[in-house]
Amino acid sequence: MAGNTISGGDYKDNFVISYLELRRAIGIVGMAMPFVLAGGAWLFFSIGLQVSLSAYYNTPMHDLSVGLMFFLSGFLWSYRGYDRRDAIAGKLASVFGWLSAIFPLPADPTQLGILGNLHNILAGLFFLTLVYFSGFLFTRSDPGKPLTSQKLLRNRIYRICAFVMGASLVIGLALHFTPAFASFRPLFWGEVLATEAFGIAWFVKGEGILKDEEKVR
């Protein structure tokens, strides 16, 4: 029926909006995850900070920990972006996230074993893919369009987030194996900073903030 026909422009707008919402959803879930896991464990079960975010798998927050990772990985699987690189990166991040939840850390983090080491490798690959998203994919722009001041600012934020993700994980992991700092849960805080940076990058990419101003026609 003519009254229900959607024009090509409207369809494109709806398509774009759906991906902006998907990016914002990924960002919000990412930023919320540390607070949900650590806050929920402390508030409802009086459990202190764990050695890492992954360690909440072995607490009463188990189901929520797995659910959030599967939820986030599902969003990443459905992400397409602008070209094949975005789609492949989304699929890889999704698979790494799913597998890291399927192969969790053991209850005793000092006895990693094969599965524990596999989890750490998968979690590392998951974060490396997210660093690639923020530092290399999000900073691209249409060569036919001039860079706006907002786009330049967003690119700066993407690069900062990529740096924070990489640096916080490396430093957190190094301090985790330093006896003098181990009691301060450096790996946990490193993962929190990395997850927050990841969430901020995706929220900005979804135009949650710093959106380009539309030109008046």
* Confidence check: pLDDT of 170 > 80: yes
| Residue 178 belongs to a domain | yes
| pLDDT at res. 214 | 59
Of residues 13 and 185, more confidence is placed in: 185
Q: What is the pLDDT of residues 73-117, one digit of tens each?
A: 999 998 877 788 999 999 999 999 999 999 998 888 778 888 889
Of residues 10 and 55, more confidence is placed in: 55
| Residue 180 belongs to a domain | yes
On average, the pLDDT of the chain sits at: 88
| Residue 200 belongs to a domain | yes
Q: Could you list the residue range(s) of the whole structural domain that residue 38 is in?
A: 11-205
Determine the average pLDDT of the residues in 52-61.
Answer: 95
Per the structure, the count of domains in the chain is 1
| Residue 213 belongs to a domain | no
| Residue 4 belongs to a domain | no
Backbone angles phi, psi at 116, to 5 degrees: -65, -45
Give percent of the chain with pLDDT exceeding 70: 90
* Confidence check: pLDDT of 17 > 60: no
| Residue 79 belongs to a domain | yes
Burial of 91 (0-12, 13-18, 19+ CB in 10 A): middle
